[in-house]
Structure 1
Amino acid sequence: MKEKTDKATFVLQVFESIAKDYDRMNTLLSFYQHKRWRKFTMKKMAVKPGDTAIDVCCGTGDWAIALAEASHTGRVVGLDFSANMLQVAQAKLSEKGLEQRVELVEGNAMQLPFPDHSFDHATIGFALRNVPDLVQVLKEMKRVVKPGGQIVSLELSKPTWPPFRAVYFLYFERILPWLGKLFANRYEQYRWLPESLIHFPDYMELARIMREEVGLIDVEVYPLTGGITALHIGRKSADDR
């Protein structure tokens, strides 16, 4: 329990400190791919007008905004534990005139402050590897989704082709932290990113966890860009009430 608490405290400190640079660095470090990955995800999700959604660990709000634009009139919530990240998200909502459409909540992904069966969709983007207990977070996402609803994770993963995998980890472990130092004056914080991936399950293992430990059905997996990122979509059984 102490280890989980220590991780949560450390991760909060990381994101509080990089919030103002997060979007710029995310674009740089992903080589502009993160927007393409999210666009692919939204296509696969097929959000309908009026659908409700919660974006867990919403960060600076890009996915919550995309969900609101797709649902048109449905309730959308963005939840994050970092006040600084939510402050950036709020500014984006104001710029787009979406303040009345997206509710931002400072909260804990391990204990979502919403009743059972509240949303049609629950998403988490590039954050599942940072939570203290990924199974608990996925179970909470499942709990707050309506029967038949979607639980969606878009996350960094590990390439399966050995030569590409070697180059990928060389970039992630040796080069990425120095880019963080150069462009955001944050070395230790960006060194955490590759460390957070080392013990994170690969995309096949995460799919197994979603099926067997979380109890989702119809789990679909889409490795993207050679497997450096993976999209997982599972459903809550219609009988789960």
Structure 2
Amino acid sequence: MKDSFKGNIKISERRRGLGLRRLFKRERTTKEIRDLYTRGAWLYELDDAITLFSKKLYRPLILNRAKLRGDETVVEVASGTGEMSKLLASKLKRGHLICVDISPGTLAIGRRKIKRLGLDHRVDFVLAAGEKLPLRSSLFDAAVCCYALDTVRDAKPVIEEMFRVLKPGGRVSTGYKGWARSLLLSIFDRLIWEPYLRLVWNCGAVEIEKFFREAGFKGLVKEERMNGYYVFIHGEKP
């Protein structure tokens, strides 16, 4: 299958918004990112409301693009407070889910949500950075990363790690924040969402498509929603 990317892919690590990056003298270390998400785990729960529930709207798309039958072993990288984990665990009636996150605080919230649903027998939680997964190579049938590639320190090694832990033929399904092209969404971005991302999480929109190709994924398909506000990429390990 040919990749569905068209034309040359422009790669940029530049973050757009109100120029608030000048507030930060340097990139945060992995430890600082972990501590940030642990202290602000409760704020993470506000993301759906702040995005007018658009994040919630597109989580099923990420699930569907993973093409799960229900008996697979799946890893969710940067699982956060477990909103995507709930969908995955519900789908894996005969399978198993490994949720990996750098923050003990967000993992604890995710674990409680899964337990309330009575699905904890299908799910394990691992405290680790996505850039260095403590998991065996070629172990998983699918890898999912939901709204997190724009929050990690460097998306490239995270994508490479997802490739490594997938079995040949395993699928990757991801979604992250892109750059809004409509006037209305640009205004929302500048006034509300980007300031929130920068001041609270020190992150923002990114372009990272090429990293999937460089990692070795094939059959790549890129989809955009809300005029590029959200980007979804899925493919497979040959």
Class of the TM-score when normalised by the shorter of the 2 chains: 0.7 to 0.9
Distance 1:173 1:17 in 2: 25
- Other-structure match for 1:236: 237
How far is 1:175 from its partner? 2.5
Aligned-residue CA RMSD (Å): 2.1
Q: Is 1:58 equivalent to 2:79 in the alignment? A: yes
Distance 2:51 2:144 in 1: 20
* Aligned residue type for 2:189: F
Deviations, residues 209-233 of structure 1 (Å, cap 9, x unaligned) = 311x111100011101221001100
Preserved contact between residue 11 and residue 130 of structure 1 (Cα < 8 Å): no
How do 1:149-164 and structure 2 match up within 5 A? 149-159=170-180, 161=181, 164=182
- Other-structure match for 2:212: 210
- Other-structure match for 1:222: 223
Preserved contact between residue 207 and residue 219 of structure 1 (Cα < 8 Å): no
User: What is the count of residue pairs matched by the alignment?
Assistant: 213
Deviations, residues 132-178 of structure 1 (Å, cap 9, x unaligned) = 2211111100000110001121101113x4xx1x5434422332377
Distance 1:172 1:7 in 2: 26
Q: Is 1:173 equivalent to 2:190 in the alignment? A: yes
- Other-structure match for 1:27: 48
3-state DSSP class of the match of 2:190?
helix
3-state DSSP class of the match of 2:68?
coil
Is 74-83 or 123-132 further displaced after alignment?
123-132
Distance 2:77 2:228 in 1: 23
Alpha-carbon spacing, 1:187–1:157, altered in 2? closer, same or farther (3 Å): closer
3-state DSSP class of the match of 1:36?
helix
3-state DSSP class of the match of 1:66?
helix
- Other-structure match for 1:13: 35
Preserved contact between residue 137 and residue 165 of structure 2 (Cα < 8 Å): yes
Deviations, residues 57-100 of structure 1 (Å, cap 9, x unaligned) = 00011222211211212111000010000111111011101111
* Aligned residue type for 1:231: F
How far is 1:19 from its partner? 0.9
3-state DSSP class of the match of 1:100?
helix
Percent of counterpart pairs with the same letter? Answer: 22
> Unpaired segments of 5 or more residues in structure 1?
181-185
* Aligned residue type for 1:17: R
* Aligned residue type for 1:215: G
How far is 1:17 from its partner? 2.3
Aligned equivalent of 1:189, options 200, 204, 213: 200
- Other-structure match for 2:6: none
Distance 1:72 1:226 in 2: 35
- Other-structure match for 1:183: none
| Structure (1 or 2) with the greater helix fraction | 1
Preserved contact between residue 157 and residue 228 of structure 1 (Cα < 8 Å): yes
- Other-structure match for 1:130: 151
- Other-structure match for 2:23: none
How far is 1:10 from its partner? 3.4
Q: Is 1:116 equivalent to 2:117 in the alignment? A: no
Distance 1:176 1:63 in 2: 20
* Aligned residue type for 1:37: Y
Q: Give the TM-score taking structure 2 as reference length.
A: 0.82
* Aligned residue type for 2:237: K
- Other-structure match for 2:18: none
